A and B are shown apart, each in its own frame.
Chain A
Amino acid sequence: MTEIIRGEGLVKEYAQGGRPVRALDGVDLTVEGGEFLAIMGPSGSGKSTLLHIIGALDRPTEGRLLIRGVDLSELSDVDLAELRNREIGFVFQFFNLIPRMDALRNVELPLAIAGVPREERRRRAMELLKLVGLGDRVTHRPGELSGGEQQRVAIARALANDPSIILCDEPTGNLDSKTGEEVIGLMKELNQESGKTFIIVTHDPTVAQMTERILYLHDGRIVGEKRRGL
């Protein structure tokens, strides 16, 4: 397998209420293409911050992050936006769908931003919604869907531009355990079928157990690692 993500000495500092907070304190990590990885840690350990930096939503204060060997610190904001659009898909705890748009249009959004023509967009979004098992719910708005269904829409949206990396921030945090397991099961299926890299931030051990590798984060540092079968 080839290395797809490399973080070297990642530090993230920001001011909170006037005093500096060190959310990441020298994180080194490598992720191989096609991995199904969990990042675990208590709240405030820097999990989400790390995920945001990997997802090019945020820049580290120190250190560098490489995706497919490209140092993101050398990219402009416009380049980062394009990277997010084409290479990365996000799945959030609160789904983050746009309430006024139906499932289809939510999934179309990254395609519209990429400038994909309308017909093509529609076709692809339909395909993806079928893939996540929502072929019959395409015209429903988020408010008309259950939590699990909303998260499936979010997964379909994350897959829209066929990115190689899917980043999930507490994807089951807002779902009951059965639905949560189903969602993770779907992700795992996608991982195995398409070889996409999944990084799942969670503090739920049952979710983490379903992954191949777990990184433990504490106070902004990686304090442990566990591989399945090891």
Chain B
Amino acid sequence: MRTLDTLFYALDGVRERKFRFALNIIGILIGGAAITSLLAITQGVNRDISEQMELLGPTTIAITPGGFGIGGKGLLTMRDLERVRRIPHVAVATPIIDRAATVTIGGRTGVVSIVGIIPEEYLRVIRNIEVAEGRFIRRSDMAAAVLGSNIAQPPGEEEPIAEVGSRIITMIKTEEGVKKATFRVAGILEETGGAFIVSPDDVIYISLRSAQQLFDMGNEINRIAVEADSMEKVEYVVDAIEEELGEGVLVISAGFVRETVGRITTSLQVLLGGVAAISLIVAGIGIVNTMTISVMERTREIGILKAVGAKNRDILLIFLSEALITGVLGGALGVLSGIFLGQAISAIAQFSFTIVLSPYITPSICLIVVLFSAVTGVLSGLYPAWRASNLNPVEALRYE
């Protein structure tokens, strides 16, 4: 029998059992949709983080005390900074103070990150900062501040709430009571879209000296940003810093973060994909069941086919084609539904939990899901098809 004729024959059989076929398709579709949406979401998370990573040079290294993130226990000191600066292949090592403060801007009050930096050093490390209006801060500024784009115009606001020259008031609780300070806006930054650990869009920059004074830091700092002189030396510098500063610090490079994120999203993908794959397996069992019934119902037809000269192989292929059609069609519909499902999940996540998920469908995801569904279909069809092909023709013809 020609392949095309086998396929047509299989399609014919499918048409005769539309309802059952539709149920099988739905089974595969649900599995395929679950896999597609989950893969797309984890892929999206991976892509978003990778994109943010790209804003940072591949030679950048961040040193934070203890735990990941902001304000971990224990602080670094200017002495630590000096030790880092002496490490070979360190091109730049710059101190960063990063503290939260209650800030009043244009009549609005909120808690904002205030970042104290040495501007000319900082800009060599964080390279995507551009001034939209006014100027960036200078090392010697004591009452000037530069606002990130989201600070000058919070998301959802139609008009900026601050402009160059506006006054901002910071309030910090200390043991003696609330300490107030006033800064003048020297510049407003372009939107950057994200960065390493803290986005410049969401902070207020002031000079290191004014931050030390504002937060009464003495010679303590929150972070050190380091630039190695070449990509090849990043690992060496990371190791050297860890050795120099000991256990208490976390030294992370862009490569390290990218790798970690990749590892996390990959395991997430495997985990979620695995859970979704179970639904495909369940659908497969459904196919085994309905096809076995279908083979029984069609015993006589199989006998007829054999009597007019069909080989076992022809019959095997007819039933496997039915299973393949189920798998491919279910998988393709599953991919389409999965795309919508991914969008729906991200909409719900954004609405209910304000988590931004941007599902990312790649052709390879679609291909994998369709392929996986097809394989599930064929594997499920294997046993019933084998049974059909091995029926004794005489007994099959007698079957009532």
Q: Give me the interface of A with B, judged by CB distance under 8 Å.
A: 52, 55, 57-58, 77-78, 81-86, 90, 92, 96-98, 100-101, 109-110, 112-115, 118, 157, 160-161
Contacts and interface: CB of A to CB of B under 8 A. Distances in A.
Interface of B: 1-2, 5, 9, 12, 15-16, 300-301, 303-314, 393-394, 397
A109 to B, nearest CB: 6
Contacts of B1: 112-113, 115
Given A100-B12, A100-B16, A115-B2, A58 B394 contact: yes
Contacts of A114: 309
B275 to A, nearest CB: 40
Contacts of B305: 109, 113
B394 A82 contact: no
A52 B394 contact: yes
Nearest to A114: B309
Nearest to A167: B307
Nearest to B392: A58
Given A81-B311, A97-B304, 19 more contacts: A57-B393, A58-B393, A81-B309, A82-B309, A84-B307, A85-B308, A90-B307, A96-B300, A96-B307, A96-B397, A98-B304, A100-B15, A112-B1, A112-B9, A113-B305, A113-B308, A113-B309, A115-B2, A160-B308
Given A112-B5, A113-B1, A115-B2, A57 B394 contact: yes
Residue among B15, B303, B308 with the highest chain A CB neighbour number at 10 A: B308
The main secondary structure of chain B at its interface with chain A is helix
A85 B304 CA distance: 11
A85 B1 CA distance: 11
Contacts, number: 69
B313 to A, nearest CB: 8
A55 B307 contact: yes
Contacts of A52: 394
Nearest to B298: A98
Given A96-B300, A98-B301, A115-B2, A77 B16 contact: no
Given A96-B397, A112-B1, A57 B301 contact: no
Given A52-B394, A96-B397, A115-B2, A109 B308 contact: yes
B309 A86 contact: yes
A157 B308 contact: yes
Contacts of B301: 98
Contacts of A161: 309
B399 to A, nearest CB: 11
A117 B312 CA distance: 21
Contacts of A113: 1, 305, 308-310, 314
B29 to A, nearest CB: 26
Contacts of A100: 12, 15-16
A1 to B, nearest CB: 26
A151 to B, nearest CB: 14
A159 B306 CA distance: 16
Contacts of A86: 309
B397 to A, nearest CB: 7
Contacts of B5: 112, 115, 118
